[in-house]
Amino acid sequence: MDAADRLFPEHLAVLSRTADRALAASEGEALLIGAGQLRTQFLDDRTDPFVANPHFRHWAPILDAPGSFVLHRPGKRPTLLFHQPKDYWHKPPVLPNAPWMASFDVTVIRHPQEAQKQLPAHTVYIGDDSFKERDRWGFKSINPVATMACLHYARAVKTPYELACMREAAALGARAHRAAADALATGASEYAIHLAYLAATGLTEAELPYSNIIAANESGAVLHHTDLARVAPSPYRSLLIDAGAQVRGYASDITRTYATAAGPFQELIHSMDQLQQGLCAAVQPGVHYPDIHLQAHRQIGQLLIDHGLILCSLEQALETDLTSIFFPHGIGHLLGLQVHDIGGHQQDEQGTITPPPKNHPYLRLTRTLLPGMVVTIEPGIYFIPMLLERAKQDGRRSLIHWERIEALLPYGGVRIEDDVVATEEGADNLSRAGFSALN
Ligand code: GLY
Ligand code: MN
Ligand code: MN
């Protein structure tokens, strides 16, 4: 049994207590969580890669589980209704042989319909719309707002089991980032780096928490560059790689940027790395996460001044929103079962929403940090022609050192991203710990 296995029963106890409250909010007697269904592509017999409902994975760490369910009834052990169809075209999912299974009563079902027999009256269903039978099963309600609000709010605070999984996911991501850097050193293309990364994780592409972003040269200015070039650029100036891994369904989300030679872009990476580590240290219980975002804008503004890229005071850069030309996304987000974990704008179990500030629409997290929350910290500076053109046209032209910017355009941009836990003892940087363990 490993550390995560030992922590699993306690994790399940926490989920049960939350589920009791979530059920009470909708006056339900039982919670049925569907893993989801395989989706067949239009006019074809191929299916999309299966991704299980994150609420299902919260309980049962099974990735390959189409048609399975978890049933929670207050005061009872949870039931895993494991779907194992009789099929000779495909290999049916194999019943996991893992210590966590001992926490469940397990029933193998050959068809999802068989789950219906197990359901008490007033069952609340949580799952996606592709489950065709759901309208015929007589649920009390389906994804009721009050229940979902309670579940989503709670997901942000990780149990020790979840933190153990995420620590492993970050370590695996760090190892694969090292393999990617080694591939870059041989002059590999974006696509070849992707293959080296995948091989180092031992995951399939569908098992990654998100599509790898691997961007050479000016492609680094495309925030989510996933259309990977098969041919290495010449000259090869820079590489931005934003790639994660997953362990038992939990994600890591890590970005590193490299320059292939010394010069202003390498200096920018160095400054950004220091700035990013300072922001990571601010991940503490009681800190209002939007304050970290605003702090990032101040520090990025100062960095742009120090590197001679903008020609105004910090106050003017912030007042004119000039920093958003270079840093046009949020400082980060909740991380967990989903790379952009749910509930980032939610302030309580009742579902009160605080949207991001008006000038910062892409900020995904507006909560105050609690112990056990895992967030990313991912500041960046990009040279995005579309946004630079906007600044040129709208009166901010004189604030920018165009000659220096034009020299940096062929490098795309720099982003550094880590996964950080807020703990009572301070910030616990999971990804830096993963990289350190490699040395
Ligand atoms: N990899 C997506 C993100 O950093 O949010
Ligand atoms: Mn991220
Ligand atoms: Mn990322």
Let me know: does 113 contact 136? Beta carbons within 8 Å: no
Mutational test site, ligand 1, from 374, 417, 419, max ligand atoms within 8 Å of CB: 417
Residues 125 and 177 in one domain: no
Of all residues in the chain, what percent carry a pLDDT higher than 70?
Answer: 100
Atom number in ligand 1 closest to CA 244: 1
Same domain? For 337 and 407 the reply is yes
- Compute the Cα dihedral for 253, 259, 265, 267 and give only its sign: positive
223 lines ligand 1 (CB under 6 A): no
Centroid of ligand 3 to alpha carbon of 243 (angstroms): 6
The residues whose Cβ lies within 5 A of ligand 2, an ion, are 253, 376
- Ligand 1, residue 243: give the atom nearest the CA: 1
Alpha-carbon dihedral sign for residues 6, 10, 11, 13: positive
Indicate whether 112 pLDDT > 90. no
Number of the ligand 1 atom closest to the C-alpha atom of 340? 5
Determine the atom of ligand 1 nearest the C-alpha atom of 415: 4
List all residues 6 or more positions away from 370 whose beta carbon is below 8 Å from its beta carbon: 156, 157, 285, 422
CB atoms closer than 10 angstroms to residue 190 = 25
CB 238 within 8 A of CB 413: no
CATH code for the domain of 210? 3.90.230.10
**Ligand 1 midpoint to CA 332 (Å):** 8
Confidence class for position 439, pLDDT limits 50, 70, 90: confident
Best residue among 246, 362, 378, 420 to mutate for probing ligand 1's pocket (most ligand atoms within 8 Å of CB) is 378
Under the banding of pLDDT at 50, 70 and 90, the label for residue 104 is very high
Report how far residue 432's alpha carbon sits from residue 439's, in angstroms, rounded to the nearest whole number.
Answer: 11
Ligand 2: centre distance to CA 336 (Å): 11
Query: Do both 132 and 31 map to the same domain?
Result: yes
pTM, entire model:
0.97
Instruction: Calculate how far, in angstroms, residue 338's C-alpha sits from the geometric centre of ligand 3.
Output: 12
426 shares its domain with 314: yes
**Residue type (1 letter), 360:** H
Q: Which of 177, 197, 210 to mutate to test the pocket of ligand 1 (most atoms within 8 A of CB)?
A: 210
Q: Are residues 119 and 10 in the same domain?
A: yes
pLDDT of residue 118: 86
* Residue having the nearest C-alpha atom to atom 4 of ligand 1: 253
pLDDT in tens, 10-59: 999 999 999 999 999 999 999 999 999 999 999 999 999 999 999 999 99
Instruction: Please tell me if the CB atom of residue 242 comes closer than 6 angstroms to any atom of ligand 1.
Output: yes
Give the atom of ligand 1 at the shortest distance from the alpha carbon of 364: 5
pLDDT at position 130 over 80: no
Burial of 160 (0-12, 13-18, 19+ CB in 10 A): middle
Using the 8-state DSSP alphabet, how is residue 338 labeled? Answer: S
Instruction: Judge if 76 and 140 occupy the same domain.
Output: yes
**Ligand 1: does its nearest atom lie under 6 Å from the Cβ of 210?**
yes
Q: Are both 302 and 376 inside the same structural domain?
A: yes
Please, which pLDDT band fits residue 135 given cuts at 50, 70 and 90? confident
**Amino acid at position 178, single letter:** R
Tokens coding 385: 């022609």
What CATH number should be reported for the domain holding residue 14?
3.40.350.10
Identify which of 264, 282, 281, 384 has the alpha carbon closest to the alpha carbon of residue 324.
384
| Residues 183, 224 within the same domain | yes
> Among 76-80, 111-115, 354-358, 394-398, which stretch is predicted with the lowest mean pLDDT?
111-115
**Domain boundary at 129, 155, 181, which?**
155
Select from 213, 214, 225, 415 the residue to mutate for testing ligand 1; criterion: most ligand atoms less than 8 Å from CB: 213
Ligand that lies nearest to the alpha carbon of residue 224, given by its number in the listed order: 1
Mean pLDDT score across all residues of the chain: 97
Q: Which domain holds residue 74?
A: 3-155
Of the candidates 326, 331, 322, 243, the one whose C-alpha atom is nearest the C-alpha of residue 291 is: 331
Question: Given the structure tokens 């939350």, which residue do they identify?
Answer: 18
The residue whose C-alpha atom lies closest to atom 3 belonging to ligand 1 is: 253
Q: Domain count of the chain?
A: 2
| Boundary of a domain, candidates 98, 130, 155 | 155
pLDDT category, 391, cuts 50, 70, 90?
very high
Cβ of 211 below 6 Å from ligand 1: no
Please give the Cα distance from 340 to 34 (Å, whole number). Answer: 21
Say yes or no: CB of residue 418 within 6 Å of ligand 1: no
pLDDT digits (tens, 9 = 90+) for 158-190: 999 999 999 999 999 999 999 999 999 999 999
By C-alpha distance, which of 416, 374, 414 is closest to 255? 416
Same domain assignment for residues 134 and 195:
no
pLDDT (tens digit per residue) in 218-269: 999 999 999 999 999 999 999 999 999 999 999 999 999 999 999 999 999 9
Q: How far, in Å, from the CA of 382 to the mean position of ligand 1? A: 15
In this structure, which ligand is nearest to the CA of 329? 1
Structure token digits, residue 5 = 């296995």
Residues whose CB is less than 8 angstroms from the CB of residue 94 and which lie 6 or more positions away in sequence, other chains included: none
Q: Which residue has the tokens 């780096």?
A: 193
Residue 192: enclosing H or E segment and its boundaries? helix 190-201
Residues 275 and 424 in one domain: yes
Residue 133 has what pLDDT?
79
- 193 pLDDT above the threshold of 90: yes
- Strand-strand pairing, 246-247 and 141-142: unpaired
Ligand 2 midpoint to CA 53 (Å): 20
Judgement on whether residues 196 and 50 belong to the same structural domain of the protein: no
Distance CA 336, CA 380 (A): 22
Residue at a domain's end among 155, 183, 217: 155
* Separation of alpha carbons 87 and 104, rounded Å: 25
Report how many helices (DSSP H) and strands (DSSP E) the chain contains, helices first: 12, 16
378 in contact with ligand 1, CB cutoff 6 A: yes
- Answer yes or no: do 151 and 168 share one domain: no
Taking only the tens place, the pLDDT of each residue in 320-342 is: 999 999 999 999 999 999 999 99
Query: In the numeric block, which tokens belong to residue 167?
Result: 């620590």
Both tokens assigned to 140? 């009390």
Q: How far is the CA of 101 from the centre of ligand 3 (A)?
A: 32
Percent of the chain with pLDDT over 90: 96
